[in-house]
């Protein structure tokens, strides 16, 4: 056995041990919490932020480890065990099995790191059953979509083994645009109840939207309080499916002027065509890792990615490539968030309400004014609230002179 092979096996053993050990530890934590729920903690933004950052770093590490375990270990086992499945169905069947197995493995991890964490810091009063129901729905939807897409991808890979990466790249923008239509129309209502917003605020939002060509958008209130006490709003949809959705947690806690500013910020993303720009950037960030990953798979295995084992290796390389590109994607995201803030100031001429809204968001969402610089560079899709509030307060002071 060569030294390179021995090192690879050792690394695979470490990755598998980390994955299994971490999962078992979280199973123990979950069972303990179900038997005797952990007590609430003080609503301390710094401690909450530190915990979230630690879990984020650990999460990326364990995801890479689990990906390596599947790509270079278990996928070969499943490849052999699925020989009886007709070739066109082999990859979708594997994706379905992988989704089910990973959902079960991740269940205790998500219970502790999502459900329990939000509960003990006072961000949620959701019951374990309600959390489990939402998670199960997400798993079924994700698994079904994954099986469908893997079936289509496998067919393209077999029929165009040399050209399929370019076909996939060319089809990515259309797929992302389609998701922007399907998700708000059919998927999101499975998790929350969306009802038309009524009252004076609806009229103000409609008037604001009309100034920028979105007067026909559907303006909705949704029960975000089912999942969390945090506040949010968003504008979504393309091709006539535009929706302005505002969480009940925001509507019930914020003043009208503050809510209007938040909606104006979200509207800025639509007016500036940020969804389309994000589709273009997303396609670009997928393209390079996909081409490099496919070249590595072909070189190391002598096969294209149409079989289970090669597809899993490609998936691993693609995930690593996207993780490496995360700082670039986040830098772009922070830039367009600042632009949306400026748009909201111009649209409402009310920077002071914006500053008040962001302070309220900070307190309600248990956010820090400023996190560590490395966290913002590596992981943050939004600028720090402290810097955004300072910019708005500066604008308000300038306008008052």
The phi and psi torsions of 382 (rounded to 5 degrees) equal: -125, 150
pLDDT band at 270 (very low <50, low <70, confident <90, very high): confident
Each residue's pLDDT tens digit, 191-207:
999 999 998 999 999 99
CA 151, CA 89: separation in Å to the nearest integer?
7
| Res 4: pLDDT | 63
Tokens of 372: 């560590």
Q: How many CA atoms are closer than 13 Å to the CA of 373, on its beta-carbon side?
A: 0
Question: Domain containing 24: what range?
Answer: 1-31+42-123
**Side by side, which strands form the sheet with 243-247?**
194-196, 218-222, 243-247, 233-236
Q: Can you say how many angstroms the Cα of residue 319 is from the centroid of all Cα atoms in its chain?
A: 14
Query: What pLDDT score was predicted for residue 141?
Result: 96
d(CA 153, CA 64): 23
Q: Is residue 100 part of a domain?
A: yes
* Percentage of the chain lying above the pLDDT 70 cut: 96
In a domain, 61, yes or no: yes
- Higher per-residue pLDDT: 185 or 247: 247
Q: Contact, 312 vs 297, CB < 8 A? A: no
pLDDT at res. 387:
95
**The CA-based dihedral angle spanning residues 10, 15, 21, 25, taken in that order and rounded to the nearest 10 degrees:** 150
pLDDT of residue 213: 82
d(CA 304, CA 88): 15
Joined together, the tokens standing for residue 302 give 């002598």
Mean pLDDT in the chain? 91
**Which pLDDT score is estimated for 242?**
76
The count of domains in the chain is 1
On the 0-12 / 13-18 / 19+ scale of CB atoms within 10 A, 219 is buried
pLDDT top residue among 108 and 243: 108
In angstroms, the CA 11 to CA 13 distance is 5
Provide the pLDDT for residue 6.
Answer: 77
Report residue 179's pLDDT band, with 50, 70 and 90 as the boundaries. confident
Domain assignment present for 58? yes
Q: Does residue 36 fall inside a structural domain?
A: no
Q: How much is the pLDDT for 125?
A: 87
Is 253 inside any structural domain?
no
Reply yes or no on whether the pLDDT at 338 is more than 60.
yes
Q: What is the predicted pLDDT for the residue at 7?
A: 75
Q: Report if residue 224 sits inside a domain.
A: no
Confidence class for position 178, pLDDT limits 50, 70, 90: confident
Dist. CA 229–CA 364, nearest whole Å: 7
Strands 233-236 and 194-196: unpaired
> What pLDDT band is residue 110 in, cutting at 50, 70 and 90?
very high
Which structure tokens are listed for 345?
Answer: 């100031």
For 292-333, the pLDDT digits (tens) are 999 998 888 877 667 888 889 999 999 999 999 999 999 999
- 297 by Cβ neighbours in 10 Å (0-12 / 13-18 / 19+) ranks as buried
Q: Is the pLDDT of residue 396 over 70?
A: no
User: Higher model confidence: residue 154 or residue 31?
Assistant: 31
12 confidence band (pLDDT: 50, 70, 90): confident
Q: Residues of the chain with pLDDT > 90: what percent?
A: 72
User: Mind listing the pLDDT tens digit for each residue in 344-365?
Assistant: 999 999 999 999 999 999 999 9
pLDDT at 236: 79
pLDDT at 64 over 90: yes
Position 239 in a domain: no
Predicted confidence (pLDDT) at residue 276 exceeds the cutoff of 60: yes
Q: What is the mean pLDDT of residues 95-110?
A: 96
Burial (CB < 10 A; 0-12, 13-18, 19+), residue 224, is buried
> Is 111 a member of any domain?
yes
Residues 6+ apart with CB under 8 A from 212: 267, 270, 271, 347
d(CA 91, CA 73): 17
């Amino acid at each position: 056995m060569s030294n390179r092979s021995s090192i690879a096996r050792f690394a695979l053993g470490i990755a598998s041990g980390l994955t299994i050990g971490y999962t078992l530890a979280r199973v123990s934590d979950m069972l303990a919490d179900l038997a005797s729920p952990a007590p609430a903690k003080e609503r301390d933004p710094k401690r909450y932020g530190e915990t979230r950052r630690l879990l984020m770093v650990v999460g990326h590490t364990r995801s890479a480890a689990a990906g390596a375990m599947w790509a270079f270990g278990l996928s070969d086992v499943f490849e052999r065990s699925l020989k009886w499945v007709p070739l066109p169905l082999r990859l979708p069947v594997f994706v379905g099995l992988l989704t089910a197995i990973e959902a079960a493995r991740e269940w205790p991890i998500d219970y502790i790191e999502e459900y329990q964490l939000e509960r003990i810091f006072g961000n949620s009063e959701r019951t374990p059953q309600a959390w489990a129901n939402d998670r199960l729905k997400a798993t079924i939807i994700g698994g079904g979509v994954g099986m469908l897409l893997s079936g289509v991808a496998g067919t393209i890979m077999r029929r165009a083994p040399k050209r399929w990466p370019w076909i996939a790249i060319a089809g990515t923008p259309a797929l992302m645009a389609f998701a922007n239509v399907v998700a708000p129309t059919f998927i999101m209502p499975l998790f929350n109840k969306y009802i038309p917003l009524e009252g004076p605020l609806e009229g103000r939002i409609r008037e604001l939207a009309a100034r920028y060509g979105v007067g026909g958008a559907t303006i909705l209130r949704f029960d975000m309080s089912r999942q969390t006490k945090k506040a949010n709003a968003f504008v979504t949809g393309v091709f006539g499916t535009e929706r302005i959705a505002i969480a009940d947690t925001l509507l019930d806690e914020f003043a009208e002027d503050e809510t209007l500013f938040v909606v104006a910020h979200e509207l800025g993303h639509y007016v500036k065509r940020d969804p389309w720009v994000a589709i273009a950037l997303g396609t670009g960030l997928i393209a390079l890792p996909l081409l490099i990953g496919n070249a590595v798979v072909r070189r190391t295995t002598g096969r294209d990615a149409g079989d289970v084992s090669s597809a899993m290796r490609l998936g691993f390389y693609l995930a690593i490539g996207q993780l490496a590109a995360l700082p670039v994607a986040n830098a772009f995201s922070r830039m367009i968030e600042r632009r949306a803030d400026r748009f909201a100031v111009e649209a409402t001429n009310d920077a002071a309400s914006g500053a008040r809204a962001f302070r309220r968001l900070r307190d309600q969402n248990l956010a820090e004014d400023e996190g560590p610089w490395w966290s913002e560079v590596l992981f943050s899709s939004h600028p720090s609230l402290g810097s955004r509030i300072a910019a708005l307060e500066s604008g308000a002071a300038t306008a008052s002179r």
